[in-house]
Amino acid sequence: LVGAGPRAVAYVSCDPASFARDVGYFRQSGWELSGLRAFDLYPHTHHMETVALLTPRG
């Protein structure tokens, strides 16, 4: 995905652990977390819908 050269990526995830892992991959590739919103659509569970905006650094 990063190799395609987008100006930004809107990333949606429903699990905090996989979100953290995947954002780590983006950061290692020179991207930064520019915006983040979390939505608790599944109360009383660890699942949280997360919508993030990732952009290339610089």
Residue 1: C-alpha distances to residues 5, 32, 38, 40 (Å): 8, 15, 23, 27
Catalytic residue among 14, 22, 47, 56: 14
Instruction: Record the pTM.
Output: 0.83
What pLDDT is attached to residue 57? 94
Whole-angstrom distance, CA of residue 31 vs CA of residue 28? 7
What pLDDT is attached to residue 2? 80
Active site residue 14: yes
- Reading the chain (58 residues) residue by residue, the pLDDT tens digits are 888 889 999 999 988 889 999 999 999 999 999 999 999 998 998 778 999 999 999 8
What pLDDT is attached to residue 42? 86
Task: Give residue for tokens 């991207």.
Answer: 31
What pLDDT is attached to residue 15? 84
